[in-house]
Amino acid sequence: MFATLSDKLDLVFKKLRGQGVMTEDNVKDALREVRLALLEADVNFKVVKDFVEKVRTRAVGTEVLQSLAPGQQVIKIVHDELVLLMGGSEDNSLDLAAKPPVAIMLVGLQGAGKTTSCGKLAKYLKAQRKKPLLVPADVYRPAAIEQLKVLGRQLDIEVFGSEATQKPLDICRDAHRYATLNGFDVVIFDTAGRHQIDDYLMEELEGIRDELAPREILFVADAMTGQEAVNVAQGFNDRLGITGVILTKLDGDAKGGAALSIKAVTGKPVKFVGLGEKLDALDVFHADRLVSRILGMGDVLTLIEKAQATFDEKEAERLQQKMKKSGQFDLEDFRAQLQQIKKMGSLESIMNLIPGMGKAMKQMQGAQPSEKELKRIEAIIDSMTPKERANHTIINGSRRLRIAKGSGTSIQEVNQLLKRFTEAQKVVKQLQKMGPKGLMKGMKGMGKGMLPF
């Protein structure tokens, strides 16, 4: 989503880094380009104006003009002010400090992703060892109730039984009573939406709020709608008093202005961001991490968290012991690692979390691995026998033909994989000797063909 903004800011920062001495004119020129980049990214005009003024005030002060690296100092100021703009280090965690069951309302317009966000939030809370109950209270949208029931079955989370003929307030009241009697920790209410704000909708939501006194009222905003999402959030906040925001579709190709503006305009923190359709694609929002990604600095903490959540410790220990003992990395190991990496998300999203790798991937001019190519590689490896995966050098012509037919690929594709894997084995051995610093340097220097994909 922030690719265009990142590229433009990167050009500005390149010019700044080249300045040995920083003057007010340098700062003025740089901030003009920063302002244009933010406006083109659909950031609220007033927000941009205030942001640029804050950066200018700090950038023409002694902390920059007397600095040994003034360009870097201005970049740091932009980074710090962007973090503050999006919420800084304030606590944006869910407020569950109440007698259970704690009520959470999700509100927003139709199409923003409320129902899916309910399922994602329930999965997140379940992972936190909470017992959530999902409540379908949208009786207007066709199949909304059934959609939440399907999500509940997929997640093995109970969904309160409701019918489209019931009144939303009655559903919510009965569900809360049911949750109290059956030991649920959290009740998540999926409320109705409209294509635009209207009095009837707001009165209904106000009735539910007044009856249940929810600890959290989360506004679900579609980040693809840009500034309109900010305006709608303000409307919901004025009527309901929202406590936070869930930004959905942050993996899309929109400009991202809503993500940068919504906190400044509403005064309410972004608590979660949706990064895809999968039910585990909900991340806790961290302003500093998102800003680091926008400025091309990576996000190592998020990468570590994703790895910890998806990687099999026993498998990692097995591979470590094997490498120490024999120094061999075979196709069986590669397939296992590939399957674990896929759980973390797309390769592009993973690479963007590594400092410097996002830019390096762009510079590889189309050499980036695609998801289709990874599936093809996995299919080829799956078509091999255990002996062939353990020792790919035994794969002769007839075996290659069988593997190609079994995987639905060509002999040339099988040959290409084997050739690249042979090269990759050498790289793995080299990186193993380099240690952590050498590993990062080696990764940045890789070109097409250095890995099996």
Mean pLDDT of 282-296: 77
What confidence score (pLDDT) does residue 178 get?
93
* 130: helix, strand or coil: coil
Instruction: Give the residues across from 282 on adjacent strands.
Output: 274
Question: Residue 61, annotated ligand binder?
Answer: no
What confidence score (pLDDT) does residue 282 get?
83
All structural domains of the chain: 3-88 (1.20.120.140), 102-285 (3.40.50.300), 321-343+369-435 (1.10.260.30)
Question: Residue 62, annotated ligand binder?
Answer: no
Mean pLDDT of 427-438: 61
- Percent of the chain having pLDDT more than 70? 74
Mean pLDDT of 247-268: 75
> Of the ranges 249-263, 357-371, 390-404, 406-420, which one carries the lowest mean pLDDT score?
357-371
Mean pLDDT of 202-219: 91
Question: Residue 183, annotated ligand binder?
Answer: no
Question: Residue 250, annotated ligand binder?
Answer: yes
pLDDT of 73 above 90: no
What confidence score (pLDDT) does residue 443 get?
46
Question: Residue 342, annotated ligand binder?
Answer: no
Strand 132-136 and strand 102-107: pairing? Answer: unpaired
What confidence score (pLDDT) does residue 20 get?
61
Which one-letter amino acid corresponds to residue 408? G
Q: Is the pLDDT higher at 2 or at 209?
A: 209
Instruction: Give the residues across from 216 on adjacent strands.
Output: 104
pLDDT of 113 above 90: no
- CA dist 103 and 185 (Å) reads 9
Residues 6+ apart with CB under 8 A from 188: 104, 106, 118, 121, 122, 125, 132, 133, 134, 135
Question: Residue 192, annotated ligand binder?
Answer: yes
Give the pLDDT confidence of 134-190 residue by residue, as tens digits: 999 888 887 888 999 999 999 999 999 888 888 989 999 999 999 999 999 999 999
Question: Residue 438, annotated ligand binder?
Answer: no
Question: Residue 190, annotated ligand binder?
Answer: yes
Helix, strand, coil in percent for the chain, rounding step 5: 60, 10, 30
What confidence score (pLDDT) does residue 321 get?
66
159: DSSP letter: B
Say which residue the tokens 């303000």 belong to.
Answer: 234
- The dihedral over CA atoms of 251, 252, 257, 260, expressed in degrees to the nearest 10, equals 0
Give the pLDDT confidence of 354-371 residue by residue, as tens digits: 555 555 555 544 555 566
Question: Residue 375, annotated ligand binder?
Answer: no
Helix (H) or strand (E) holding 188: strand 186-190
Q: Is the pLDDT higher at 436 or at 329?
A: 329
What confidence score (pLDDT) does residue 349 get?
60
Question: Residue 111, annotated ligand binder?
Answer: yes
Question: Residue 422, annotated ligand binder?
Answer: no
* 368: helix, strand or coil: coil
- CA dist 108 and 201 (Å) reads 10
Mean model confidence pLDDT for the chain: 78
Which one-letter amino acid corresponds to residue 448? K
Helix (H) or strand (E) holding 187: strand 186-190
Question: Residue 336, annotated ligand binder?
Answer: no
Which token pair is 160? Answer: 């309160």
Question: Residue 155, annotated ligand binder?
Answer: no
Question: Residue 289, annotated ligand binder?
Answer: no
- CA dist 254 and 64 (Å) reads 34
Q: Sort 265 into a burial class: Cβ within 10 Å, 0-12 / 13-18 / 19+.
A: middle
pLDDT of 110 above 70: yes
pLDDT of 315 above 70: no
Do residues 223 and 259 touch, judged by C-beta distance below 8 A? Answer: yes
Q: Is the pLDDT higher at 262 or at 451?
A: 262
- CA dist 390 and 380 (Å) reads 14
pLDDT of 451 above 70: no
Question: Residue 144, annotated ligand binder?
Answer: no
pLDDT of 440 above 70: no
- CA dist 62 and 83 (Å) reads 22
What confidence score (pLDDT) does residue 301 get?
54
pLDDT of 85 above 70: yes
What confidence score (pLDDT) does residue 431 get?
61
